[in-house]
Amino acid sequence: MNIGSRIAKLRDDRGWTQEQTASSLGISRAALSHYEKNRREPDSETLSKFADLFHVSVDYLVGRTSAPQSVLDGPVRDFVDKLELSNEDLLKQFDLTIDGRKLTPEEARRFIAFVRAERTME
pLDDT at 19: 96
CATH fold, domain 3-61, is 434 Repressor (Amino-terminal Domain) (1.10.260)
Mean residue pLDDT across the chain:
83
User: Taking the model in full, what pTM does it have?
Assistant: 0.58
pLDDT at 73: 65
Q: Which of 56, 61, 49, 85 is nearest to 73 (CA)?
A: 56
Q: How far is CA 23 from CA 20, 37, 62, 75, in A?
A: 5, 18, 22, 25
Sequence-ordered list of residues with C-beta below 8 angstroms from that of 62, at least 6 positions apart, any chain: 3, 47
What does the pLDDT look like over 75-105, one tens digit per residue?
776 776 666 655 566 666 677 788 888 888 7
Q: Which of 21, 33, 50 is nearest to 122 (CA)?
A: 50
Domain map (residue ranges) of the chain: 3-61, 83-120
pLDDT at 50: 94
Q: Report d(CA 13, CA 89) in Å as an integer.
A: 46
What does the pLDDT look like over 49-75, one tens digit per residue?
999 999 888 888 988 887 777 556 667
What does the pLDDT look like over 14-55, one tens digit per residue?
999 999 999 999 999 999 999 999 999 999 899 999 999 998
The most distant pair of C-alpha atoms in the chain lies apart, rounded to whole Å, by 52
pLDDT at 107: 84
